[in-house]
Amino acid sequence: MKTSVIIGGNFAGMTAALELKRKGKDEQRVIVIDKSPLFIFIPSLIWVPFGRREIKDISFRKDTILKKKGVEFIEAEAIKVDPDAQIVHSTKGDVHYDDLVIATGPKVKYDVAPGVAEHAHYVGTPIGAMKIRKALEEFKKNPGPIVVGATQNAGCMGAAYEFLFNIEKWLREQNIRKKVDLYWITPETFLGHFGIDGIAGGETMLKSFMKMFHIHFRTEVGVQEVQKDKVILTTGEELPSSFTMLMPPFVGVDFVQNSPGLQANANGYIPVTDDYRHVSLPNVWAAGIAVDVKLPFQPGKVPFSGPKTGYPSDETGKIVAENIIRVQQGKKVLKKKPWGKIPGICIMDAGKKEVLILTDKLFKPRNFAIMVPNIFYDFGKILFEKYFLWKTRHGYSQLP
């Protein structure tokens, strides 16, 4: 029996673990190490600050699901790995592996600029989303200008756009929209770049949204400093702000940074080939955000990154599981699909409206890429949320 250890248990890790056990059956021992027993559907966190979702609505016990499917779960923090000895050191002891899958997700780099950690909110964690809810209750009592956006080196633009349009909708619902100057700031070279070099018609659509909702925007800007009552941009412009929400950049987690044998890049991401196998460690694999993705475009005056969203994470988790089984069966041909050739499937919420984004490849060149607005209701994102939670709660990792 072979032992595969997966570090991390959200999109990529959960999928890889379930697929490894499903394909390997009794010949495969699968162990997931994660410090949290909860699976969080991260894309729906943008609704939590506005009361459209509670954390319990978008989370469940992943340890229970994994155990039902024959996967062992260790609730612990992985500290570092020794690739030569094939041992993971964790807060619950050492674990030996035959194959290691790194699906650790990101660490948020709050120190990207002075004041970001102290004075800006971040919607990408359950704690952060609930802090925003509390802050908005106070904001209602004394409305003022709002700054929403992404810092230099950020990659998760889509979630920031979603928050922008949701807070604009919330301001109207609270009857305080006319009292608030709303600003959007982004390092993107143009609106709707999204870290994928844009989609035909996307910039025009987003410009029309900004005009329709009376949102001021700045492109190709970074954050020099955030203060309690303003955001200072790298251009020197100072934007007044009574409430600030920013998407900082992601970097590799401490586990990777503490493991020099993994040969991670400067940002803490794992170098892999197109089959998501480590470039020089044949029994180490990476999936999801942990993967070092090479961008095919030049960011412009202000650096930014590409997106590492749920769909590519889910897909790379499946590819890794398939390839581990193939290697263990002695097969020479592995499944390959570079990150940039994974289809782009995204539903961007726009405050009870939405934009469906479909591309045959994340990065150019593409055969097709479309953005379809739904101005009536965001039922597409709701359906996707319900489907993914249902699928994952039942351990149906083989489904798309």
Helix pair angle (11-24, 310-328), 10° resolution: 30
Domain span(s) for CATH 3.50.50.60 in the chain: 2-107+250-340, 110-249
Nearest CA among 209, 204, 239 for reference residue 221: 239
Over residues 355-369, the pLDDT tens digits come to: 999 999 999 999 999
Q: Exposure of 77 by Cβ count < 10 A (0-12 exposed, 13-18 middle, 19+ buried)?
A: middle
Between CA 91 and CA 76 the distance in angstroms is: 6
Say whether pLDDT at 310 is over 90. no
Over residues 369-400, the pLDDT tens digits come to: 999 888 888 889 999 999 999 999 999 999 98
pLDDT attached to residue 297: 84
Over residues 326-347, the pLDDT tens digits come to: 999 999 999 999 999 999 889 9
pLDDT attached to residue 269: 97
Q: Chain-wide mean pLDDT for the chain?
A: 96
Options 1.10.8.60, 3.90.180.10, 3.50.50.60, 3.40.630.30; CATH for 110-249 is 3.50.50.60
Over residues 126-161, the pLDDT tens digits come to: 999 999 999 999 999 999 999 999 999 999 899 999
Over residues 234-273, the pLDDT tens digits come to: 999 999 999 999 999 999 999 999 999 999 999 999 999 9
Say whether pLDDT at 25 is over 90. yes
- Considering the entire predicted model, what is its pTM? 0.95
Say whether pLDDT at 190 is over 90. yes
Q: Tell me if the domain spanning 2-107+250-340 has CATH number 1.10.520.10.
A: no
